[in-house]
């Protein structure tokens, strides 16, 4: 594998940053504040979805009249207020993996559903703003995850073929996007275990970011 992988593409929330738990928490709090008692399992189902997919998912929970955009804006406000006060933290192993990739000359990119402004803000707050060759946001492509656009664009920006890219993800929507792009999807579970449908799409599953080094050495 080490001879066929020329780039590693990283999701951000729940993968590089320990922020996915915040999305889960504040999706629930925002929905509850708007009169919709969202469960943790339902909130986990909202991970990494583009607007269309997120709307469909929320309608499947609460019916066609649910105001997805209002709840989403409430979630953003609650989470932004929390992060401004408490900050964000890194997932274990990111520094070791990035050092290994740099030593091997393997290109890197962040490919996140988050807006670019928030991506830069979060990465800067943990000192990683200059640690990746490219930063790509779902707002830079026509269709967000689970569609393949963001990973195809990240590969293009790095000047590599999608099939030469390993994608590290923690969400089913992200894994599906990577699979559709023709990349090599690797799941690093965050808040729950991999479901059966997602497992079928995986090249591998790793327990941590540091464990990816062993995969690349195979």
Query: Which residues does the annotation mark as catalytic?
Result: 11
Quick one: 193 exposed, middle or buried, by C-beta within 10 A (0-12, 13-18, 19+)?
exposed
Residues in contact with 169: Cβ distance below 8 Å, sequence separation at least 6, in sequence order: 11, 15, 48, 175, 177, 178, 185, 186, 187, 188
What gap in Å lies between CA 103 and CA 68, rounded to an integer? 44
Residue 79 and residue 28 in contact, taking contact as beta carbons nearer than 8 Å: no
**Locate tokens 């006060």: which residue?**
85
How does DSSP classify residue 144? -
Listed in order, strand segments (DSSP E) in 100-203 are 107-112, 134-137, 165-169, 184-187
DSSP bridge pairs for 203: none
| Residue 102 C-alpha from the chain's centroid | 21
What gap in Å lies between CA 44 and CA 195, rounded to an integer? 12
């Amino acid at each position: 594998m080490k001879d066929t992988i020329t780039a590693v593409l990283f999701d951000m929330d729940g993968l590089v940053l320990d922020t996915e738990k915040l999305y889960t928490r504040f999706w629930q709090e925002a929905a509850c504040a708007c009169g919709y008692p969202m469960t943790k399992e339902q909130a986990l189902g909202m991970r990494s979805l583009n607007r269309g997919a997120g709307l469909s998912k929320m309608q499947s929970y609460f019916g066609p009249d649910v105001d997805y955009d209002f709840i989403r804006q409430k979630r953003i406000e609650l989470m932004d207020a929390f992060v401004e006060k408490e900050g964000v933290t890194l997932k274990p192993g990111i520094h070791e993996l990035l050092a290994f990739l740099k030593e091997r000359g393997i290109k890197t990119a962040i490919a996140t559903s988050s807006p670019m402004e928030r991506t830069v803000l979060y990465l800067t707050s943990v000192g990683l703003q200059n640690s990746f060759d490219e930063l790509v946001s779902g707002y830079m492509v026509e269709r967000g995850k689970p569609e393949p656009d963001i990973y195809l664009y990240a590969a293009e920006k790095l000047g590599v073929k999608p099939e030469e890219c390993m994608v590290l993800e923690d969400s089913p929507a992200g894994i599906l996007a990577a699979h559709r792009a023709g990349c090599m999807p690797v799941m690093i579970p965050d808040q729950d275990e991999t479901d059966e449908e997602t497992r079928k799409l995986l090249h591998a599953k790793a327990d941590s970011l540091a464990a990816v080094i062993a995969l690349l050495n195979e």
